[in-house]
């Protein structure tokens, strides 16, 4: 009996399901960042707003990368429903705390797919995921650095204004 399933697709249905879940997570992240950009803009934190606009666009690009990969491998990409996006935040700091939480969730989810790929010996998808693991180093660094600014500058006086200004300058240029 021919192996017709393998002829049609390179990835297993389990990996396909996990990648589709990741598409949804990236889409959710993109929407959350957009909501954060809106909140920051409304509250006078323009540099942070621009920072979150860029982050929203990046997450959208990540979503598309997963989407196209599944299709290229012969699978079925599912365009996700994105609902329950928080629109209001209690403080400037809370926005960045939730941004870091979001990035940690994404990293953990990608690690979970990686572990499954190792189990199935799906080295093709592992190679695809390597780009995302490196990307998450940058994403987590930036989110963590933004929160660090709250500690080193402090929120008193013109602190929040200073923090906002420095958020726009956060860069990750590690060659490691």
Binding site for other proteins (CB under 8 A): 1-9, 12-13, 76
Could you tell me the CA-to-CA distances from 119 to 2, 125, 126, 151 in Å, in that order?
A: 24, 12, 11, 41
User: What sign for the dihedral angle of Cα 131, 133, 135, 138?
Assistant: negative
Check: CB of residue 120 under 8 Å from CB of residue 12. Answer: yes
Nearest distance from residue 23's CB to other proteins, in Å?
16
Return the exposure string of 60-77: e unless at least 16 CB atoms fall within 10 Å of the residue's CB, then b. bebbebbbebbeebebeb
Strand boundaries in 33-172, DSSP class E? none
Q: How far is the CB of 67 from other proteins (least distance, A)?
A: 17
Helices marked H in 9-91: 13-42, 46-72
Shortest CB 7 distance to other proteins, Å: 7
* Residue with Cβ nearer other proteins (9 or 38): 9
Q: Which is nearer to other proteins, 17 or 82 (CB)?
A: 17
Closer to other proteins by Cβ: residue 6 or 86: 6
Place of tokens 């499954």: 116
Read off the tokens for 15: 């990996």
Q: How far is the CB of 76 from other proteins (least distance, A)?
A: 7
Closest to other proteins by CB, 120 vs 138, is 120
Q: How far is the CB of 16 from other proteins (least distance, A)?
A: 9
Of 19 and 34, the one with the shorter C-beta distance to other proteins is 19
């Amino acid at each position: 009996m021919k192996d017709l399933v393998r002829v049609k697709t390179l990835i297993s249905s389990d990996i396909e399901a996990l990648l589709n879940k990741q598409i949804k997570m990236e889409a959710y992240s993109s929407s959350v960042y957009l909501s954060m950009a809106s909140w920051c803009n409304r509250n006078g934190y323009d540099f942070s707003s621009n920072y979150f606009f860029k982050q929203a666009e990046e997450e959208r690009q990540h979503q598309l990368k997963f989407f196209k990969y599944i299709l290229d491998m012969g699978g079925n990409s599912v365009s996700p429903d994105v609902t329950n996006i928080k629109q209001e935040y209690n403080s400037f700091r809370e926005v960045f705390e939730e941004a870091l939480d979001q990035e940690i969730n994404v990293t953990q989810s990608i690690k979970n797919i990686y572990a499954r790929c190792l189990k199935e010996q799906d080295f093709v998808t592992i190679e695809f995921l390597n780009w995302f693991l490196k990307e998450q180093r940058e994403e987590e660094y930036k989110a963590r650095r933004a929160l660090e600014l709250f500690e080193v500058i402090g929120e008193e006086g013109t602190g929040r204004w200073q923090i906002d200004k420095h958020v726009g300058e956060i860069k990750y240029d590690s060659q490691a």
